[in-house]
């Protein structure tokens, strides 16, 4: 009788341990969910402010572009092409910010850790893609002020060389930044700082919280083997 009782007590002991671990997992997930929500609140604020800024900037760009087209002359070609390119890039930026806001608000914190990580990963990749696209407008800020009336025929050779160097440098810089915007560079501090302005920092913090939960589950599985 003693041996069966011992086995029964041992089984009950392990059942209590399993129940305790399950409670700890649930409590840990709730704590991590709260931390992630807090971290992503700053992302939501950033996206709302960004959407308002994009709308105001696009209204300004649209106004000057429509005005230029209404009073069209060949002298405005540089201006029209440059502002049109900047406008298109910022329209894409506005769409991205709206999409990010919707995705952030729709994260299902009741789902599994893997599902939440997948949602955050999708958001992070989209933020990188957004920042990558925004780089394309950089060179056009060096050409919008040019005019067919005076460039290049009425300026000296030195100014032409300077303009080519400035626009060429900004074009190369834009291309370099564009190529550097990839997930493989997330381990580099300068790149993390670069995408922080688009909300990358908040998402990375949230992902780190769930990595803690993932590590806890891995240790628990190793103990149960």
More confident position, 17 or 46: 46
Q: Strand runs (DSSP E) across 44-116, as ranges?
A: none
| pTM, rounded to two decimals | 0.84
Average pLDDT in the 8-21 region? 58
What is the count of structural domains for the chain?
1
Residue 81 covered by a domain? yes
In a domain, 144, yes or no: no
What's the chain's average pLDDT?
87
What pLDDT, on the 0 to 100 scale, is given for residue 87?
A: 98
Question: DSSP assignment, residue 107?
Answer: -
- Least trusted range by pLDDT, from 40-49, 68-77, 174-183, 213-222: 213-222
In a domain, 107, yes or no: yes
Domain that holds residue 37: 2-134+154-224
Cβ-contact 204, 192 below 8 angstroms = yes
Report the pLDDT value the prediction gives residue 114, as an integer from 0 to 100.
Answer: 86
* Contacts of the segment 21-30: beta carbons below 8 A, 24+ positions apart: 21/220, 25/216, 25/217, 25/220, 28/213, 28/216, 29/113, 29/213
């Amino acid at each position: 009788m003693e041996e069966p009782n011992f086995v029964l007590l041992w089984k009950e002991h392990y059942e209590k341990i399993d129940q305790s671990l399950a409670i700890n997992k649930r409590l840990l997930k709730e704590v991590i969910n709260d931390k992630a929500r807090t971290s992503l609140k700053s992302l939501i604020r950033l996206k709302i402010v960004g959407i308002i800024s994009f709308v105001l900037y696009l209204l300004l760009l649209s106004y000057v572009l429509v005005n230029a087209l209404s009073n069209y002359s060949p002298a405005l070609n540089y201006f029209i092409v440059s502002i049109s390119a900047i406008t298109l890039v910022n329209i894409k930026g506005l769409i991205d910010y709206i999409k990010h806001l919707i995705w952030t608000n729709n994260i299902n914190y009741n789902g599994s850790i893997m599902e939440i990580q997948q949602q955050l990963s999708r958001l992070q990749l989209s933020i990188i893609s957004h920042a990558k696209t925004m780089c394309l407008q950089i060179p056009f800020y060096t050409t919008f002020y040019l005019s067919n009336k005076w460039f290049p025929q009425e300026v000296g050779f030195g100014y032409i060389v300077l303009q080519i160097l400035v626009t060429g440098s900004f074009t190369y810089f834009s291309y370099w930044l564009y190529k550097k915007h990839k997930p493989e560079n997330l381990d580099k501090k300068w790149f993390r700082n670069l995408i922080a302005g688009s909300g990358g920092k908040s998402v990375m913090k949230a992902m780190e919280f769930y990595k803690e939960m993932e590590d806890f589950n891995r240790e628990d599985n190793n103990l149960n083997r």
